[in-house]
Amino acid sequence: MFGWFKRRRGPVAGPDYQHVDSRGKAEALYAKGELRKLLLLPAAFGGEDIPPNVVYVPAFAVALKEQLDQGVISQLVRDGKVTHYSATPEYTGKSVVPSRIRVAATEPGHFAGEISIWGKAVGDQPSSASLSQDQPLPAFRLSAASVEDLGPEELVRAFISDYDTWNQYSYQMSERDAVASIDAAEAAYAQLSRKYCPPGQIHQPISFGSDSSHDSEREAIVDVATTEGASLVRTRHTKTVGSLVMTRDHEFHLKSANGRWYLTSVLYVDEEGKYEGL
């Protein structure tokens, strides 16, 4: 078990980003040089400059995360001690500037650290629960309903609901134990994959946070195109932050085999391309 990365902090008085309550405001501060763009999954580890992977933070937070990623985790990767990586932003109020970013690297080892950026997070001490490795995390349970008889549209709706349940579980576990939660989230995602995907499906590195990429309340199906043996279901996820309305489009690709539908791909779609997220 690797030790915890000693948290580095900004000034105690710290900046205040409560007023930055929209991505537009964050991007305006970025244009002025007051905030920097940060990739949660760094480019060195395969991260892309796409909205789900981008947050805007002050310069010192970028420097601290680079020091953590390149000075510590990269060496663990080279030594074969870790193979999985996650960076989870936490927010205060309506601000879109993270108050804290939790970083974890696992498999086969375990390493975790956090970067406190502003607000209450700067003065917080890790809770006893977050530092404890001894308390077992509760088991993850998907909805009991079978999906084997569902058509493409109904199966996508069920997946969105179960994905949201998985994201909430994973994020809540990360609040209790940032290290052990990664293994718990991986195991839970494997359950999700077995329920909806064909046998042997290999999924992308997992990512979860306080705001789920898919949830039934904000994601609507906008189009379904089904041919013999294949189906494409398009959705739009809508989020309102202050006066800004943000949308994310996804494509769910399904195939029919063994008398049922399977989910084979979930693509995030923007103007620049499509990115696998399953």
Residues 174-178: contacts with CB within 8 Å, 24+ apart?
Answer: 174/88, 174/102, 174/104, 174/208, 175/129, 175/130, 176/129, 176/130, 176/132, 176/135, 176/137, 177/129, 177/130, 177/132, 177/133, 177/135, 177/137, 178/102, 178/104, 178/112, 178/114, 178/130
Contact 158, 260 (CB under 8 A): no
Length of the chain: 278
Point out the least confidently predicted range of 76-80, 162-166, 192-196, 198-202.
Answer: 76-80
Closest CA to 207 of 173, 171, 234, 156: 171
Domain boundaries, the chain: 1-126, 148-278
- Specify the 3-state DSSP secondary structure of 93: coil
User: In this structure, which topology does domain 148-278 adopt according to CATH?
Assistant: Nuclear Transport Factor 2; Chain: A, (3.10.450)
Contact between 266 and 156 under an 8 Å Cβ cutoff? The reply is no
Helices vs. strands in the chain: H and E counts, helices first: 7, 10
Q: What is the mean pLDDT of residues 13-37?
A: 88
Of 60, 71, 65, 173, the C-alpha closest to 118 is 60
Report the SS3 class of residue 233.
strand
Task: Give the tokens for residue 203.
Answer: 């999924």
pTM value is: 0.56
The pLDDT value given to residue 137: 59
Q: Which pLDDT tens digit goes with each residue over 214-242?
A: 999 999 999 999 998 999 999 999 987 67
- What pLDDT digit, counting tens, does each position of 84-128 carry? 888 999 999 999 999 999 988 888 777 788 888 888 766 554 433
Q: d(Cα 99, Cα 157) in Å, to the nearest integer?
A: 32
